[in-house]
């Protein structure tokens, strides 16, 4: 009997979401930005593509007009996006995912669903797998990730969203 025809088999889904991904990459690569409010995007025209957690304390959010962001946080530092770097880091992270499952559903450069019902390492416990993945992401990229674990994608995403930055939550 395969797993699709076995109703007793509970799926194990992990939602991994990188914490303030673009801004965190910029802070990682430029130590002068660490601990400061950073926005990735256009300063004079355009919108914020990502905001560091320091900027978020002032109410700066992704998709916010840059003018509004600067008004909310006068010390906000704007950084031009480097999508080639973000794509490369995303490839590194997905390579980590692939060590645990071939069932990866990317949602964007910085988040994905992983079906670890049958994980490649034979670990068998989704929370242990999620914690290993988060630890490896931190060690190999210098970035943090949040993760939610559940038996379906919706609940896994709900579990990961309110807990950023960096925790693991089971839903």
Active site members: 111
CA distance 159 to 46: 31
CA distance 83 to 154: 28
At 86, phi and psi to the nearest 5? -60, -40
Helices (H) and strands (E) in the chain, counts: 6, 8
The β-bridge partners of 170 are 149
Q: Residue 153 burial by CB count (10 A; 0-12/13-18/19+): exposed, middle or buried?
A: middle
Residue 30, token pair as written in the block: 């430029």
CA distance 128 to 160: 15
Listed in sequence order, the DSSP H helices in the chain are: 21-29, 53-56, 66-72, 83-98, 126-141, 153-160
């Amino acid at each position: 009997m395969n797993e699709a025809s076995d109703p007793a088999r509970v799926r194990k889904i992990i939602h991994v979401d990188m914490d303030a991904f673009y801004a965190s990459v910029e802070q990682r690569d430029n130590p002068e930005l660490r601990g400061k409010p950073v926005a990735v995007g256009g300063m004079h025209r355009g919108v914020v593509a990502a905001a560091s957690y320091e900027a978020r304390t002032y109410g700066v959010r992704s998709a916010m007009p840059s003018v509004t962001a600067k008004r909310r946080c006068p010390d906000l530092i704007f950084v031009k996006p480097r999508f080639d770097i973000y794509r490369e880091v995303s490839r590194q992270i997905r390579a980590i995912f692939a060590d645990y499952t071939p069932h990866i559903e990317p949602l964007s450069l910085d988040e994905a669903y992983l079906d670890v019902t049958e994980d490649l390492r034979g670990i068998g416990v989704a929370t242990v797998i999620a914690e290993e993945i988060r630890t490896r992401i931190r060690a190999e990229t210098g970035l943090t990730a949040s993760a939610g674990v559940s038996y379906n994608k919706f609940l896994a995403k709900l579990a990961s969203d309110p807990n950023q930055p960096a925790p693991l939550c089971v839903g």
